[in-house]
């Protein structure tokens, strides 16, 4: 048999101030009757004593969940002084914004490299009934599911990438934060929790590979830089030769064109300053 899902609803309650006045009058009448007609006095004082259990004070950004005979009867969300069912349990649930700090988690990124990652998740309860009845301990549930979302996210992206087309944890922090928030929200929806923000607070390679990965990063950066330098140099050489030929400034045979390409590539790609050599021979064929 399917169980109907529990959703938060308002509980019956009234302002506590007029009830206090009525309660005081009943108690006074019970005391007076107790002196002159004890049975009737007891009949008034017993329900008056039970009625004391109905008073509840709700502070801002908190709620009281009412449970009567094992059944959820509603939630009081308004702040103030109220009187509700005196026989109902009244459990407090905070609706304030809270932080969960995962600390440093050791996981493998998309390339299998061990990394350390930590995140801060900002959350709050939006459905007190779900928070109390759909999970055993909603605070522990938030902690476990948030860490699960962080681990799943870390394994979906590489730590770093020199290719702009390949997203990475370091390369797209805003997109990663949004993906983390979305994954955490999907896992915590059942507990009546809203994820307001999720961001990486710590990201680094694991200590055992940190030095090796640093050298690897440096090598990859050098290779990527060299690739861009060569591509730019080739484009500049092509442009220079085309300019000479279009303007007919000089006539170059294949041998001299090759020499010119070689000299330009050396001048553009060399790490050190090149020394000019003056050729006094004619360039004309």
Mind spelling out the 3-state secondary structure of 49-110?
Answer: HHHHHHEEEECCCEEEEEEECCEEEEEECCCEEEECCCCCEEEEEECCCEEEECCCEEEECC
Tell me what pLDDT residue 162 has. 66
- Alpha-carbon distances of 162 from 100, 153, 269, rounded to whole Å: 32, 20, 20
Question: Scanning the structure block, which residue is given the tokens 């923000």?
Answer: 197
d(C-alpha 27, C-alpha 38), whole Å: 13
Tell me what pLDDT residue 285 has. 41
CATH number listed for the domain at residues 98-205:
3.30.479.30
Give mean pLDDT in consecutive 10-residue pieces for the chain, a chain of 285 residues.
72 94 91 85 89 94 94 95 95 95 90 89 96 94 95 89 78 91 94 95 78 64 68 67 62 62 59 53 45
Who contacts 139 (Cβ-Cβ below 8 Å, separation ≥6)? none
Who contacts 92 (Cβ-Cβ below 8 Å, separation ≥6)? 62, 63, 64, 65
Cβ 113 vs Cβ 205: under 8 Å? yes
- Alpha-carbon distances of 41 from 20, 34, 37, 253, rounded to whole Å: 19, 4, 6, 124
Domain ranges of the chain: 14-92, 98-205, 210-269
- Candidates 75, 84, 81, 21; CA nearest to 50 is 84
Tell me what pLDDT residue 1 has. 41
- Candidates 8, 274, 276, 268; CA nearest to 127 is 8
Residue 88 backbone phi and psi in degrees, to 5? -90, 145
Determine the Cα angle at 246 with ends 245 and 248, to 5°: 60
**Buried-state track 18-49, b at ≥16 Cβ within 10 A, e below 16:** ebeeebeeebeebeebbeeeeeebeebbeebe
Tell me what pLDDT residue 21 has. 94
């Amino acid at each position: 048999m399917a169980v109907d899902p529990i959703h938060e609803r308002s509980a019956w309650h009234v302002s506590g101030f007029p009830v206090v006045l009525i309660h005081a009058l009943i108690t006074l009448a019970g005391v007076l009757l107790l002196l002159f007609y004890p049975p009737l006095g007891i009949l008034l004082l017993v329900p008056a004593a039970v009625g004391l259990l109905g008073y509840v004070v709700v502070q801002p950004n908190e709620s009281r969940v009412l449970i009567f005979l094992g059944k959820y009867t509603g939630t009081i969300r308004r702040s103030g002084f109220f009187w509700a069912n005196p026989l109902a349990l009244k459990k407090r649930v905070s609706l304030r914004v809270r932080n969960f700090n995962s600390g440093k988690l050791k996981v493998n990124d998309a390339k299998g490299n061990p990394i350390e990652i930590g995140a801060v998740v900002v959350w709050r309860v939006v459905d007190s009934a779900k928070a109390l009845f759909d999970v055993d301990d909603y605070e522990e549930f938030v902690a476990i599911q948030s860490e699960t979302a962080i681990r799943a996210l870390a394994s979906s992206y590489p730590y770093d990438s020199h290719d702009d087309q390949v997203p990475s944890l370091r390369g797209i922090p805003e997109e990663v934060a949004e993906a983390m928030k979305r994954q955490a929200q999907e896992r915590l929806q059942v507990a009546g929790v809203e994820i307001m923000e999720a961001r990486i607070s710590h990201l680094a390679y694991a200590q055992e590979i940190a030095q090796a990965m640093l050298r690897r990063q440096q090598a990859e950066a050098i290779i990527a830089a060299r690739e861009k330098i060569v591509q730019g140099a080739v484009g500049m050489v092509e442009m220079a030769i085309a300019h000479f030929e279009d303007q007919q400034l000089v006539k170059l045979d294949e041998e001299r064109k090759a020499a010119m390409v070689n000299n330009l590539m050396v001048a553009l790609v060399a790490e050190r300053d090149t020394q000019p050599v003056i050729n006094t021979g004619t360039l004309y064929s």
